[in-house]
């Protein structure tokens, strides 16, 4: 098949959506398909072919609600004139999908939509947008959801969208099946017997960094270290975290390469993730793959992932605001973290359960074959 994936950002840009599209695209190429990714221009991208995935760059910004700028006509002509068998639009509320929606009936390829959460569904300014989305979802040959419980899937059911299926996210078996050579504890000066609490998430202001630091400090676990690893999207979030690092010797804020992040997963004792907004967080699947238990807010489909993981994770006490954003109860969450620390055998058992379920169901190899089957079906 000749496949087009559209997504706002792609390699070398890092993030959950980028990882999903990268994993699926590169594995479909290995299965014998031709894959092109249409995405934003990135000055740090040195090649328009990454691991045999072709890249088409467009200097476009924004979405249908806040407004779009850039070479919109060039992208529309590309969609209309290119001869792909399948076009897959990953994520709503961004230009690569919103522009495609305007010309959807004229695109010759079979069409698939992967909504990835509808994070602005509760925002008043997006009301008309989602009325439009409801109509357009009927025009897709298939709508793929990463959860059967989150709000985008419920939106489809409530609006009688018929062509729907669920394919979860996953974690890379090439990274998590084998030991890493990197000894990240040693490099960061973390003693082997320290209780290592880990958070992986970009500095966006919405990944719960501030809450996670408060939870860790209040838990007051002896001989412990807290590491936050992530890219910098919000300077304010990053510098607030670095300020905490300055005054707390057992807090480390880093932006390491991927191999160090994988090593952190494998050397951590527990994953702490009080995020405010998600769809289906890949970091929870990666925690499962690494064999460490996780604590997460009720965010995205985290409840569902906890069930899928055979209870290798626990939910932090969570409150939701009027926009649907999740906020951890700091005191109760700190108590839960401290209580788990006291039960090391239970932590080990939880981690093993999660890894078993990941091996059975949530490697990217297995996930990609599910996507391939859907593509062939349409």
If asked whether residues 370 and 348 sit together in one domain, one would say no
pLDDT for res 182: 82
DSSP string of 136-203?
HHTTSSEEEES-SSSHHHHHHHHTT--SEEE----B-HHHHSS--S--HHHHHT--TTSEEEEEE--B
- Which pLDDT score is estimated for 62? 97
- The single-letter DSSP state of residue 109 is S
CATH of the domain at 46: 3.40.50.2000
Is the domain of 197 the same as that of 49?
A: no
Contact at 8 Å (CB) between 18 and 11? yes
Q: What is the pLDDT of residue 179?
A: 84
Tell me if 151 sits within 8 A of 118, measured CB to CB. Answer: yes
pLDDT of 102 reads 95
204 & 350 share domain: yes
- Tell whether 250 and 209 lie within a shared domain: yes
pLDDT given at position 323: 86
Phi and psi of 155, rounded to 5°? -60, -45
- If one counts the domains in the chain, the total is 2
- How many angstroms separate the CA atoms of 96 and 76, rounded? 10
**Domain co-membership, 61 together with 207:** no
Pair 205, 337 in one domain: yes
Average pLDDT per 10 consecutive residues for the chain, totaling 378 residues: 98 92 98 98 96 98 96 97 97 97 96 95 95 97 96 96 96 92 91 96 96 98 97 94 96 95 97 96 97 97 97 97 93 97 95 97 98 97
Do residues 192 and 306 both lie within one domain?
Answer: yes
Co-location of 9 and 123 in the same domain:
yes
Whether 214 and 155 map to the same domain: the answer is no
Q: Are residue 302 and residue 224 in the same domain, yes or no?
A: yes
| 18 φ/ψ sector (left φ>0, alpha ψ -120 to 50, else beta) | alpha
- Looking at the structure, tell me whether residues 189 and 158 fall in a common domain: no
294 and 306 both lie in a single domain: yes
- Residue 41: the pLDDT is 97
pTM equals 0.93
Domain span holding position 121: 2-170+363-377
């Amino acid at each position: 098949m000749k496949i087009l994936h559209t997504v706002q950002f792609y390699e070398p840009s890092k993030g959950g959506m980028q990882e999903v599209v990268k994993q699926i695209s590169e594995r479909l190429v290995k299965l014998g398909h031709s894959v092109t990714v249409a995405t934003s221009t990135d000055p740090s991208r040195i090649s328009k072919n990454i691991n045999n995935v072709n890249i088409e760059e467009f200097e476009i910004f924004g979405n249908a609600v806040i407004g779009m700028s850039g070479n919109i006509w060039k992208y529309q002509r590309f969609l209309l004139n290119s001869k792909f068998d399948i076009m897959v639009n990953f994520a709503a509320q961004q230009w690569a999908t919103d522009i495609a929606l305007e010309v959807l009936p004229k695109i010759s390829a079979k069409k698939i939509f992967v909504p990835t959460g509808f994070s602005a569904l509760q925002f008043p300014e997006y009301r008309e947008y989602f009325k439009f989305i409801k109509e357009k979802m009927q025009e897709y040959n298939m709508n793929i959801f990463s959860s059967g419980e989150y709000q985008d899937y419920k939106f489809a059911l409530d609006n009688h969208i018929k062509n729907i299926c669920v394919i979860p996210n996953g974690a890379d078996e090439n990274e998590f099946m084998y030991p890493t050579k990197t000894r990240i504890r040693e490099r960061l000066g973390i003693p082997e017997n320290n209780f290592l609490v880990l958070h992986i998430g970009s500095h966006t202001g919405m990944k719960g960094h501030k809450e996670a630091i408060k939870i860790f400090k209040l838990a007051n676990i002896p001989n412990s270290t807290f590491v936050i690893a992530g890219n910098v999207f919000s300077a304010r979030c990053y510098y607030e975290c670095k300020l905490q690092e300055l005054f707390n010797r057992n807090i480390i804020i880093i932006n390491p390469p991927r191999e160090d992040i994988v090593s952190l997963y494998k050397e951590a004792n527990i994953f702490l993730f009080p995020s405010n907004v998600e769809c289906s967080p890949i970091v929870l699947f990666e925690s499962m793959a690494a064999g460490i238990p996780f604590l997460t807010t009720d965010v995205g489909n985290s409840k569902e992932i906890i069930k899928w993981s055979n209870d290798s994770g626990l939910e932090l006490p969570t409150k939701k605001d009027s926009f649907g954003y999740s906020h951890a109860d700091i005191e109760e969450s700190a108590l839960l973290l401290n209580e788990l620390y006291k039960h090391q055998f239970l932590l080990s058992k939880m981690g093993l359960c999660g890894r078993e379920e990941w091996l059975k169901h949530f490697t990217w190899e297995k996930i990609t074959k599910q996507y391939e089957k859907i593509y062939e079906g349409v």
